[in-house]
Amino acid sequence: MPSVSSGHALDLEKFLKSLKGQPLEASINSLISLLKRRQIKGSEPCAVATAHILLQVVARSKWHDVDSLLINVSRTGRKLVDAQPNELVIGNIVRRVLGLIRDEASEDRGDAGDESASDAPTPTDIVPPAATSQQWATRRLDSANSAAPAARPPIVSSYSSINPPKSLFHLLSTSPPADGDVSPFRNSGASTPTWRGNSSQIHALRSEVIDGIEEIKDEISQVDDQIAASAEVQIHPGDLVLVHQPSTTVERFILRAAQKRKFTVLIAVAPPRRHSAEGQHATFRKKLSAAGITVVNVMNGGLMAYMSRVNKVIIGARAIVATGGVVADAGAAAIARAAKEQGTAVVVLSGVYKLSPESPFDESSLIEWGDSSTFVSFADGPLVSGAEIRTALTELIQPELVDTYITNLGTHSRDHLSSLISDHYKREDADFHIWEEAEP
Amino acid sequence: MSEPEAAVAQQTTELPLRSQPNDSTFDIVATYRDLLASDPDLTKPVAAIESLIALLNTVPSTTVYETLDTVKSHSDLLKASVDNPLPLQAGTDLFLQYLVASLKQQDGSFDAVRQHLLRNGRLFASRAIAARNGIAEAGWRFVREGKCVLTHGASRSVTGLLERAAKNGEGKFRVVYVRDEVRAEESDRVVKELRSKGIPVAEIPEAAVAHVMGLLRQVHMVFTGAEAVTQNGGIISRIGTYQIAKLAAQAKIPFYVAAETHKFVRKFPLDQRDIGYKQEVLDFSSTGPSKQPKDAVDYTPPELISNLVTENGVHLPGYVFEQLLDIYGSLNG
């Protein structure tokens, strides 16, 4: 269920409360186990928790220059990503924070436009020492997961995609031949001599980065409101709008439109599960009815029958990958395909923080598998031992099936996503989770 | 790696600007062919750029506009000398635009720009080769364990990418290579190269592509190179690419193109008739066998391309348009 049930919200709250009283290591470890146990789940809670823990890393971990801060943040980030690789938002927030640190560091030195890279240090002196990585590896709590990083292949080649040129002119540009083989810590490394030991500068950087993370947190909390602002443009009077298992974002969007417009909402619900409460999305239905909107629940099965009358399909994204593919609740892809078949517009709602710069190299790794006991009672011995029952919680909607993406920054087409990505993430951070994989 | 004489000259001499002031004797076409022949790693656009640098080396530095004119006229000469001018145009346009743009930026310090270009000829070539490694780095993660890649032609970007994926230690993917019997030697070479890296390769004739793609889940993706990437995100590539792309789209198999960004060219082909030059594939004859053009190409429209894999990462076909607009300001070739 995308809408956060009270138990999970409680876990997030509890975790956020515990942050102050605990040492940093303990907080990180407790977040990792919360993520692994899916006690914090869903894009927004994961994003909020990640932002909080990174703020703690910036505020409380030991660092004496920009490089060590970047290393601290990326290490913590990697542990979180490993704990729950399905939640792409975790990686997104880590990349945002890394980019923020780079920006602040280069501003402080008064050379915002350091694209020339003329003072780049040699890559060898800024590679994180193997000793610390080793130490970190042994610190892991959950030994069962320690096999996971090994599955990801190490980067061997000298030319990494970390710091590639942007413009076509790069081929002929004036920068020295040092390019093409640069560490991700390039920008900050240039500052090393002046930075080390200068506590006032470090203090200033620390508070600036913390401010920046606070801004990211604000952004996450305002996303739903900002997306809802375009509701009136998208939903017209008399429309028949189909939503699929509405998340809070989608609910806010529909309710905003309901303030001014009269339309009909079809809610496609998942097939009923055991233990599930009677009447799915009951509170949402009540609010809509109060606003005078007709609401119809439809079973996810016979959607093609309704689709010819539907004007718009609205889907809340869990994450969007770089190609425009949308990770959404299972069942959404079938709806999107049915809509495409009938020429119905498919609108995806998502905060920019859910837009990931990762390409879906392996689609199957994005799918989250759920608890099949919601369908089959564990007491049903013959079935439990005789059949394998799987239930996918998410699936990838192919980008061809999506017409419009609405984010907190406005309405976008698929081709525009790449510029959103380059606005929000730094290229050198795109692969932060595999930087250190050369280690044994 | 043997270097052409011109490049050696411009690298070693400190100020070779006015060494050979006779414009008329410089043969840009011969220079271009020498460059291509001497260095098998060079791509056509980069060879064109290198030839133009060699040209700058020989003409006296007079006025800016005269130089630009010389560059333009020699670019045209160069393009006229080959069948398919598009790959060259990618290089010559980029070079000319770079000249103009840097003159605008640097308050007309023409000599500085010239010297930069003359001294760094080899650097540009090595950057272009680094770009190919960048493609491999950006795209090899598509080729995962258990996957099967279909490819054809002899694109160095594609073989580089596959070798990079094989180096990953897993080496558990397979390759279906579409043989070109007209170029049996080239096909043999590519297959041998891939097999030497421990990649299992199945060779199939071109006629079997549809059948093989129809064997469900046997081919997971298609990787191909490109001679030029057009501004709408399509590609001009070895003939046969278009039909493979169509069959892949039909079979819902992702079609990836590995190409360096310096192959982006300001050309908007409308269909197969509009590939930028006259190509006679149809040779009707009632007396003898039909003749085929030597390096025939076809045009694959962007709708059939899933992603472009460039040294700047994996992008949608629309990326080409953005990049070209970024440096040219307008798209009227």
Contacts of A159 in chain B (CB under 8 A): 130, 133-134, 137
Residue B108 pLDDT: 56
pLDDT for the residue A336: 93
Taking only the tens place, the pLDDT of each residue in A189-221 is 444 444 445 677 888 888 889 999 999 999 999
Shared domain for A185 and A93, answered yes or no, is: yes
How far is residue A408 from each of residues A15, A50, A401, A405, B235, measured CA to CA in Å? 27, 20, 21, 10, 35
On whether any CB of chain B is under 8 Å from the CB of A159, the answer is yes
In this complex, the residue of B141, B164, B170 whose CB is nearest that of residue A361 is B141
User: CB–CB of B142 and A324 under 8 A?
Assistant: no
Chain B residues inside the 8 Å CB shell of A180 = 127, 130, 134
Give the number of C-alpha atoms closer than 13 A to the C-alpha of residue B297, restricted to the C-beta side. Answer: 24
Tens-digit pLDDT profile for residues B203-253: 999 999 999 999 888 999 999 999 999 999 999 999 999 999 999 999 999
- Closest-CA distance, B288 to chain A, in angstroms, reads 47
Crossing angle between the packed helical segments B5-12 and B28-38, to the nearest 10 degrees: 90
If one compares B92 and A186, the residue with the highest pLDDT of the two is: B92
Query: Residues B145-153: what's their mean pLDDT?
Result: 92
Q: What string of DSSP letters covers B24-57?
A: TT--HHHHHHHHHHH-TT--HHHHHHHHHHHHHH
Whether residue A247 contacts residue A82, with contact meaning beta carbons closer than 8 Å, is answered with no
* Residue A334, token pair as written in the block: 């079938």
The pLDDT-based confidence of A419 (bands split at 50, 70, 90) is confident
Three-state DSSP class for B89? helix
> Going edge to edge, which strands form the sheet with B255-258?
B201-205, B174-179, B148-152, B221-224, B255-258, B307-310, B313-315
Find chain B residues with C-beta within 8 A of A177's C-beta: 123, 126
Angle at A274 between CA A271 and CA A276, to 5 degrees: 75
Residue B221 CB neighbour total at 10 angstroms: 20
Q: Which two tokens stand for residue B74?
A: 């020699």
Distance, in Å, from the CA atom of A422 to the CA atom of A427, rounded to the nearest integer, reads 7
Q: Give the pLDDT of residue B302.
A: 94
Both A43 and A57 in one domain: the answer is yes
Domain that holds residue A315: 229-408
Q: Which residue has the tokens 């010559």?
A: B92
Rounded to whole angstroms, the Cα distance separating A154 from A147 reads 14
Q: A170 in contact with B at a CB cutoff of 8 Å?
A: yes
Is the Cβ pair B319, A418 closer than 8 Å? yes
Q: Is the pLDDT of residue A265 over 90?
A: yes
Q: Which of residues 327-366 of A touch B (CB under 8 A)?
A: 359, 361-362
Q: How confident is the model at residue B120 (pLDDT cuts 50, 70, 90)?
A: confident
What is the model's pLDDT at position A278? Answer: 55
| Comparison of pLDDT for B160 and B16, the residue scoring more | B160
Give the residue on B whose Cα is nearest the Cα of A415.
B318
Of B179, B178, B174, nearest to B148 (Cα)? B174
Using a CB-CB distance cutoff of 8 angstroms, which residues of chain A are in contact with residue B311? 161, 164-165
Lowest mean pLDDT: which of A139-143, B68-72, B177-181, B234-238? A139-143
pLDDT at position B329 is 79
Residues A218, A237 within the same domain: no
CA distance A335 to A347: 12
Is the pLDDT confidence value at A135 over 70? no
pLDDT at B179: 94
Average pLDDT of chain A, as a whole number: 77
User: Does the pLDDT value for residue B332 go beyond 80?
Assistant: no
Task: Give A273: exposed, middle or buried? Use CB within 10 Å, 0-12, 13-18, 19+.
Answer: middle
The answer, yes or no, to whether residue B175 has pLDDT greater than 80, is yes
The answer on A255 and A204 residing in a single domain is no
Q: Taking the alpha carbons of A78, A82, A83, A86 in that order, is the dihedral positive or negative?
A: positive
Nearest 5°: phi and psi at A345?
A: -70, 135
Task: Please indicate if any CB of chain B lies within 8 Å of the CB of A121.
Answer: no
Is the domain of A348 the same as that of A213? Answer: no
Whether residues A215 and A240 share a domain: the answer is no
| CATH number assigned to the domain with residue range B138-328, chosen from the 4 options 3.40.50.620, 3.40.50.10470, 3.30.390.30, 1.10.3720.10 | 3.40.50.10470
| Maximum distance among all Cα pairs of chain B, rounded to whole angstroms | 65
Decide if A430 touches B, using CB distance below 8 A: yes
- Relative orientation angle of helices A199-228 and A248-258, to the nearest 10 degrees: 50
In chain B, residues with a C-beta closer than 8 Å to the C-beta of A324 are: 316
Shortest Cα distance, chain A CAs vs residue B135, angstroms: 8
Can you tell me the distance from the alpha carbon of A353 to that of A220, in angstroms, rounded to the nearest whole number?
7
Q: What is the mean pLDDT of residues A141-146?
A: 36
The answer to whether residue A411 scores a pLDDT higher than 80 is yes
CATH of the domain at A269: 3.40.50.10470
A279-293 burial, b for 16+ CB within 10 Å, e for fewer?
A: ebbeebbebbeebeb
DSSP A185: T
Going by pLDDT thresholds of 50, 70 and 90, the confidence category of residue A110 is low
Considering the domain architecture, whether residues A28 and A76 belong to the same structural domain is answered as yes
Residue B5 clears pLDDT 50, i.e. is over it: no
Same domain, A15 and A106: yes
Nearest chain A Cα to B115, which residue? Answer: A174
What are the residues whose beta carbons fall under 8 Å from the beta carbon of A311, sequence distance 6 or more? A236, A239, A240, A241, A344, A345
Q: Which residues of B touch A168 (CB under 8 A)?
A: 94, 261-262, 264, 323-324, 326-327
Predicted confidence at residue A277, as pLDDT, reads 53
For the segment A266-278, the average pLDDT, to the nearest whole number, is 70
Distance from CA of B192 to the nearest CA of A (A): 23
A96 found inside a domain: yes
Q: What is the DSSP letter of A308?
A: T
Of A159, A171, A324, the CB nearest to B137: A159
Best residue in B96, B141, B170 for a mutation probing chain A (most A CBs within 10 Å): B141
* Closest-CA residue of chain B to A360: B142
**Mutate which of A152, A168, A396, A421 to test chain B, going by most B C-beta atoms within 10 A?**
A168
Question: Residue A362: closest CA among chain B residues belongs to which residue?
Answer: B142
* φ, ψ for residue A413, nearest 5 deg: -100, 175
Nearest-CA distance from A197 to chain B in Å? 36
Which residues of A fall within a CB distance of 8 Å from B136?
Answer: 157
pLDDT digits (tens, 9 = 90+) for A304-341: 888 889 999 999 999 999 889 999 988 899 999 999 99
Percentage of chain A beyond pLDDT 90 is: 28
> Which residue in A155, A157, A164 is closest to B312 by CB distance?
A164
Work out how many CB contacts closer than 8 A connect A with B. Answer: 95
Q: Is the dihedral of CA A435, A437, A438, A439 positive or negative?
A: positive
Kindly determine whether residue A419 and residue B168, on different chains, have CB atoms separated by under 8 Å.
Answer: no
> Higher-confidence residue: B109 or A75?
A75
The answer to whether B134 contacts A159, with C-beta atoms less than 8 Å apart, is yes
Are residues A143 and A290 part of one domain? no
Structure tokens, A388? 């394998």
Q: Is A199 within the bounds of a domain? A: yes
Query: Rounded CA gap, A376 and A41, in Å?
Result: 23
Q: Is residue A41 part of a domain?
A: yes
Subunit contact A168:B313, Cβ cutoff 8 A: no
Residue A270 lies in a domain: yes
User: Measured between beta carbons, which residues in chain B are less than 8 angstroms from residue A429?
Assistant: none
Instruction: Tell me which chain A residue has its CA closest to the CA of residue B165.
Output: A153
Instruction: Tell me, yes or no, if A418 comes closer than 8 A to chain B by beta carbon.
Output: yes
pLDDT (mean) for B24-53: 86
Give the C-alpha separation, B131 to A310, whole Å: 48
Interchain pair A167, B141: CB under 8 A: no
DSSP letter at A431 equals: T
Residue A354 lies in a domain: yes
Contacts of B319 in chain A (CB under 8 A): 418
- Quick: pLDDT tens for B127-142: 888 899 999 988 888 8
Residues A54, A82, single domain; the answer is: yes
Contact B202, B174 (CB under 8 A): yes
Q: pLDDT averaged over chain B?
A: 85
Q: Chain B within 8 Å of A324 (Cβ-Cβ)?
A: yes
Is A415 among the domain residues? Answer: no
Residue to test with chain A: of B43, B89, B100, B261, most A Cβ within 10 A? B261
Instruction: Considering chain B, tell me which residue range(s) the CATH 3.40.50.10470 domain(s) occupy.
Output: 138-328
CB contact A422 to B (< 8 Å): no
Nearest chain B alpha carbon to A421: B315
Query: By the CB < 8 Å criterion, does A398 face chain B?
Result: no
Start-to-end CA span in chain A (Å): 39
What is the number of domains present in chain A? 2
